[in-house]
């Protein structure tokens, strides 16, 4: 059956072909559907128009969701774990990230020089830990996106400036706002009870007034872990070690039968992971095929055969038996 399309329909179709944006395309398609003759000869054409309308609506919905879900403070995780820094303006967190990772952070004497997060990779042993410098917190205006970045991190560093008498106010203000936003949680006596681990870093401890300020802080917050660092290198190695431990991870080295172990790029797993967990990291199909494994390191003797449920430890060497 012939379609017998009208001149008005062809005009609407031409508008659709010339449309430069989704809104004009939608308008033209809706007009085409409204004026097309409704009979058996146009059923297929009507179906095509409806599919195009549906596709445009779906594309518009996806773009809207993507736009509304965009977080300008979000940072893609890399390395063995992501540690995000939080602090007041000029607290020294940017300098700390720059020294530990050589990232191109912006350091200035004026406040709020960091507008968006800057990340860098801190080398530790044979792996890398991602440190993220964030815009300084203004307690009366904390963006929800920045709070999301804190919550999604693997660990948090709260940086205070030990050179100023306001360091106590900084510590109290930061812990208060982070607790109110459910980023961290402290018991009444100062113990950490939240799943997100964090430590306090007192920067600029080489300043003449730092020792007295720190004494007051430790007297008022005796249960809270606090590390002392300075830009001249004091405390930085201790901080590196503590960051690695805080991530609660282990490094596992894979070994292929008949070949030497590869120790350049370890697999990173959470503490308590098993041989089966390791197999899943090596390849998604391996857990189903896995029978057992040979382990060097935590086992009683080198190359000991262990079951799939065997709990691995840091620096174990594992040869999967498929």
Q: What is the pLDDT of residues 174-202, one digit of tens each?
A: 988 888 888 888 765 545 556 688 999 99
Q: How many angstroms separate the CA atoms of 25 and 57, rounded?
A: 11
Looking up tokens 């607290």 gives 91
pLDDT band at 110 (very low <50, low <70, confident <90, very high): very low
Q: In the chain, where does the domain assigned CATH 3.40.50.300 lie?
A: 82-246
In the predicted structure, residue 114 carries a pLDDT above the cut 60: no
| pLDDT band at residue 162 using 50, 70 and 90 as cut-offs | very high
Residue 236 has pLDDT above 80, yes or no: yes
- What is the location of CATH 3.10.20.30 in the chain? 249-321
Q: Using 50, 70 and 90 to split pLDDT, how confident is the model at 242?
A: very high
pLDDT above 70 covers what percent of the chain? 89
CB 256 within 8 A of CB 288: no
Tokens (6 digits) for 109: 């004497």
Q: How confident is the model at residue 254 (pLDDT cuts 50, 70, 90)?
A: very high
What is the DSSP secondary-structure string of 10-75?
Answer: HHHHHHHHH--SHHHHHHHHHHHHHHS--SGGGHHHHHHHHHHHHHHHHHHHHHHHHHHT--TT--
Res 8 pLDDT > 70: yes
How far apart (Å, rounded) are the C-alpha atoms in residues 309 and 315? 18
State the architecture of 82-246 in CATH terms.
3-Layer(aba) Sandwich (3.40)
Whether the Cβ atoms of residue 47 and residue 123 lie closer than 8 Å to each other: no
Contact 214, 162 (CB under 8 A): yes
**Edge-to-edge strand list for the sheet holding 304-306:** 267-270, 249-254, 316-321, 292-296, 304-306
Q: Which CATH class is domain 249-321?
A: alpha beta
Average pLDDT over residues 249-258: 91
- The pLDDT of 126-138, averaged and rounded, is 89
The mean pLDDT value for 92-118 works out to 73
Instruction: Indicate the pLDDT class of residue 307, thresholds 50, 70 and 90.
Output: very high
DSSP classification of residue 165: T
In this prediction, residues 224-247 reach a mean pLDDT of 91
Asked if residues 149 and 84 have their Cβ atoms less than 8 Å apart, the reply is: yes
CA–CA dist 42, 61 (Å, integer): 29
Q: Which of 313, 320, 315 is nearest to 273 (CA)?
A: 313
What is the token pair recorded at 265? 């790029």
Q: Is the pLDDT of residue 318 over 80?
A: yes
Mean pLDDT across the chain: 85
* Count of Cβ atoms closer than 10 Å to residue 222 Cβ: 10
Q: Which residue has 């370890």 as its token pair?
A: 266
Q: How far apart are CA 142 and CA 150, in angstroms?
A: 12
As a whole number of angstroms, the distance between CA 293 and CA 301 comes to 13
pLDDT, average across residues 49-68: 75
Pairwise pLDDT comparison (62 vs 178), residue with the higher score = 178
In this predicted structure, the answer to whether residue 270 has a pLDDT above a threshold of 80 is yes
């Amino acid at each position: 059956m012939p379609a017998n399309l009208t001149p008005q329909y062809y005009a609407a179709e031409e508008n659709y072909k010339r449309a430069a944006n989704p809104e004009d395309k939608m308008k033209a398609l809706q007009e085409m559907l409204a004026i097309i003759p409704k009979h058996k000869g146009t059923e297929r054409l009507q179906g095509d128009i409806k599919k195009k309308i549906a596709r445009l609506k779906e594309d518009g919905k996806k773009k809207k969701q993507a736009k509304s879900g965009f977080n300008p403070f979000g940072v893609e995780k890399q390395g063995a774990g992501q540690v995000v820094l939080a602090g007041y303006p000029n607290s020294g967190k940017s300098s700390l990230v720059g020294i530990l990772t050589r990232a191109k952070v912006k350091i200035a004497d004026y406040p709020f020089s960091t507008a968006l997060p800057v990340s860098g990779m801190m080398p530790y042993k044979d792996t890398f830990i991602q440190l993220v410098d964030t815009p300084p917190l203004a307690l009366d205006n904390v963006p929800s996106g920045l709070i999301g970045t804190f919550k999604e991190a693997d660990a948090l560093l709260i940086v205070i400036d030990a050179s100023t008498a306001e360091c106590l106010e900084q510590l109290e203000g930061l812990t208060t706002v982070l607790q109110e936003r459910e980023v961290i949680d402290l018991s009444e006596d100062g113990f950490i009870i939240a799943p997100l681990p964090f430590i306090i870093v007192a920067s600029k401890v080489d300043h003449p007034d730092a020792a007295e300020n720190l004494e007051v802080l430790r007297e008022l917050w005796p249960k809270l872990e606090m590390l002392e660092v300075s830009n001249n290198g004091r405390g930085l190695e201790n901080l590196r070690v503590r960051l690695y431990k805080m991530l609660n991870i282990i490094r596992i080295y894979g070994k292929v039968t008949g070949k030497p172990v590869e120790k350049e790029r370890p697999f990173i797993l959470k503490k308590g992971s098993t041989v089966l967990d390791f197999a899943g990291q090596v390849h998604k199909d391996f857990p189903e095929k896995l029978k057992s494994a040979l382990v060097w390191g935590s086992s009683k003797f080198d190359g000991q055969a262990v079951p799939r449920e065997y709990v691995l430890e840091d620096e174990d060497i594992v040869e999967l038996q498929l």
